[in-house]
Amino acid sequence: MKLSNKLPPPSKTDRRILAASIFIFLAALVIAVLAINARNKTPAPTVLDINGNRIDAPQGTLVPGVAGSGDLVNQLTALPNAPPLTGPLADEVHAVAGMVANCTDYNQARRDQINQNIAWLLQPATLPKDIIIALGNNINGLLIVGMATYTLAEWGQHAKAPDSCLLPIGKKLNDMLVANGETRFTEFDGT
Q: Where are the domains of the chain?
A: 10-41, 46-189
pTM above 0.75, yes or no: no
Give CA–CA dist 120/143, Å, rounded: 8
Of 178, 110, 182, the closest CA to residue 147 belongs to 110
pLDDT at residue 106, as a whole number: 95
Of 120, 115, 110, 182, the closest CA to residue 145 belongs to 182
Give the long-range contacts of residues 155-159, CB within 8 A, separation 24 or more.
155/105, 155/187, 157/107, 158/105
Give CA–CA dist 36/69, Å, rounded: 14
CA end-to-end distance (rounded Å), the chain: 87
pLDDT at residue 38, as a whole number: 67
Bridge partners, 80 (sequence order)? none
Kind of pairing between the strands at 54-56 and 46-48? antiparallel
Give CA–CA dist 135/130, Å, rounded: 9
pLDDT at residue 73, as a whole number: 61
Give pLDDT < 50 ranges for the chain. Answer: 44-51, 55-69
pLDDT at residue 103, as a whole number: 96
pLDDT at residue 75, as a whole number: 63
**Residue 27 is inside which H or E element, if any?**
helix 12-39
Of 46, 119, 122, the closest CA to residue 87 belongs to 122
Q: Tell me if 148 sits within 8 A of 174, measured CB to CB.
A: yes
SS3 content of the chain, % helix, strand, coil (to 5): 60, 5, 35
